[in-house]
Amino acid sequence: MSTLPVEAIRVLADRHPKPSSLKFQYGTAGFRTLGNSLDSVMFRVGILAGLRSKKLDGKTIGVMVTASHNPEADNGVKLVDPRGEMLEAAWEGHATVLANAPSTDAFLEALEGFVKAAKIDLSKPSKVVYARDTRPSGPALVAALEDGFKALNVDARNAGVTTTPILHYLVRSINTKGTKDAYGEDSEEGYINKISTAFKKLVAGKPASPPLIIDCANGVGAKAAAEFAKVLGDALPITLVNTDTTTPGVLNHQCGADFVKTQQKLPPSLASHLKPGQRACSLDGDADRLMYFYLDERGQFHMLDGDKIAALVAAFIVELVKAAGLEEKVRVGIVQTAYANGGSTKYLTERLPVKCVPTGVKHLHHAAEHYDVGVYFEANGHGTVLFSPETQRILAEHQPSTPAQSTAITHLINIVQVINQTVGDALSDMLLVEVVLAHKSYNGYEWDSLYEDLPNRLVKVVVPDRTIFKTEDAERRLVSPPGLQARIDDLVRKYASGRAFVRPSGTEDVVRVYAEARVRAQADELAFRVAGIVYDETGADPTQRPA
């Protein structure tokens, strides 16, 4: 039985001391905070990733260095499990404990205790694939991560600068290589080819669509989007905007999916590109979120968010399943979070089973696995569609009895290939949306008309300690601080179709307040009044009132 290479770890750990004043937490999407405070976390995550691989008999684990939609100065890191899904929840706690050990000695002690408790066989191999986004703090943080790999002698493959969903794709492809579940060629090129080949088959014979404008948030998605534009050619004319990944300060600034969702307006940089009626979409900083939008004839902005994507895609898949004669065997279900617009929840529950889970793709992903086809999207545009292994077997083996059934099955099989089933993927989701729009001959307006959104408002509140906020009922109700939920309930009752909730963010040092109501002014008022209650209750800095 091998033991931990304690001396090798000690020498390297001393080069990556934990800042004494900071407390780290593995949150909604891994560790995420100011990039310049994450050096020790990266080193320790390098070791943890190696241990995770050993625990899983040498399967390849993914490590992504990104802070996604956050401001450029932030950075973060998250681990990806062998099938391309998020790290198992129990290990999030271990990650937090290891990240917070105050000294090298304490870290080594925690590490030894953990290896013993988790019964990790250190003689097993350890393999990791890692990547980063375009943030300026990335290279130094990756160097710290690599020191962690070195300390444990991990066999680590550098996937360079790429999107989060491509890293997830690589993890699954590497681990399934040569098996009957082979997911794809384990390279960025393999990813682009797999998805674009299926897309071309799905839109073959459909009239050419007007160019799609993609706002790349000045992030890493710009590179993959350019590759897609090249490979897709006339199958989907694309215009790329906000592709500057080198000028400091521009990442996610006044552009990108989070800007569109929270500001509910057109990124200023798109004003000269977008014509009335034309559709466009925004990616976020690591290209795992997607927001669509269009301007009407009066130049008014309309947003098509994750809820609208879920409704569009689910309806299309249900239609194909029926056309294939499989409605008795393949059930489609939806997973949402508390942020789902009340209009979308009403529309969807009238048609399909819908489940509500806490924020975070990991929660949605697991819930979606319970359906034959699970469509999950957060309102912020983060989501995908999962086809269960059994459903994929049915699609492969079903004998169609009519040409129409045969066409529908072929479409479903190609749709499985277009979708990145490992995690939310803005570019793969975008192509899925484009397939549906082409098949239904929908423009933005027709898609938007599926149901009407209730006006809503999302605000951030800076509080002294967000950990005092505890929730229940899929984050729809607060249990702490005591009494706060009752005050929110009292307020909400005063608004027609009113709904509001408060939850601590897992990616930013803020508390989020969401509100919706029948009319815009009331949704805004409700959000700001709930935010006001949060200030009163927690003694938050009144100069930090939400903008």
Q: Which residues are marked as active site?
A: 68
Q: What number of CA atoms fall less than 13 Å from residue 282's CA on the CB side?
A: 36
Q: Specify the stretch interacting with ligand G16 by CB under 6 A; choose among 108-116, 306-314, 378-386, 514-522.
A: 378-386
Q: Least Å distance between CB 376 and ligand G16?
A: 10
Q: Is residue 69 a contact residue for ligand G16 (CB under 6 A)?
A: yes
Residue owning tokens 């019964």? 119
Q: Least Å distance between CB 292 and ligand G16?
A: 16
Please identify, using beta-carbon distances, which residue of 104 and 380 lies nearer to ligand G16.
Answer: 380
Tokens of 368: 């979606």
3-class SS letters over 30-62:
EEEEEHHHCHHHHHHHHHHHHHHHHHCCCCEEE
Among 261, 289, 499, 529, binds ligand G16 (CB under 6 A): 289
Q: How far is CA 401 from the centre of its chain?
A: 39
Please identify, using beta-carbon distances, which residue of 58 and 546 lies nearer to ligand G16.
Answer: 546
Residue owning tokens 């934990």? 18
Q: Is residue 85 a contact residue for ligand G16 (CB under 6 A)?
A: no
Q: Least Å distance between CB 194 and ligand G16?
A: 23
Please identify, using beta-carbon distances, which residue of 33 and 68 lies nearer to ligand G16.
Answer: 68
Q: How far is CA 476 from CA 82, 207, 456, 471, in A?
A: 32, 44, 15, 7
Residue ranges in 502-531 that form contacts with ligand G16 under rule CB under 6 A: 505-508, 512
Q: Least Å distance between CB 86 and ligand G16?
A: 8
Asked if 132 and 67 count as a contact pair (C-beta separation under 8 A), the reply is no
Binding map of ligand G16 across residues 49-68, x = CB under 6 A, - = no contact: -------------------x
Tokens of 263: 């500001």
Binding map of ligand G16 across residues 196-225, x = CB under 6 A, - = no contact: ------------------------------
Asked if 500 and 527 count as a contact pair (C-beta separation under 8 A), the reply is yes
Please identify, using beta-carbon distances, which residue of 137 and 522 lies nearer to ligand G16.
Answer: 137
Q: Is residue 359 a contact residue for ligand G16 (CB under 6 A)?
A: yes
Please identify, using beta-carbon distances, which residue of 378 and 448 lies nearer to ligand G16.
Answer: 378
Asked if 93 and 199 count as a contact pair (C-beta separation under 8 A), the reply is no
Q: How far is CA 472 from CA 70, 104, 255, 359, in A?
A: 26, 37, 33, 12
Among 288, 453, 475, 537, binds ligand G16 (CB under 6 A): 288
From 529, 524, 513, select the one nearest 466 (Cα to Cα): 513
Please, which residues have CB within 8 angstroms of residue 520's CB and are 6 or more apart in sequence?
Answer: 455
Q: Least Å distance between CB 151 and ligand G16?
A: 27
Q: Specify the stretch interacting with ligand G16 by CB under 6 A; choose among 53-61, 102-110, 189-197, 281-289.
A: 281-289
Alpha-helix runs per DSSP H in 324-368: 342-349, 361-368
Q: What number of CA atoms fall less than 13 Å from residue 518's CA on the CB side?
A: 5
Q: Least Å distance between CB 266 and ligand G16?
A: 21
Please identify, using beta-carbon distances, which residue of 167 and 412 lies nearer to ligand G16.
Answer: 167
CA Rg value for the chain: 23
Q: Kindly list the residues in this chain that would bind ligand G16 in the complex (CB under 6 A).
A: 28-29, 68-69, 284, 288-289, 359-361, 378, 380, 382, 505-508, 512
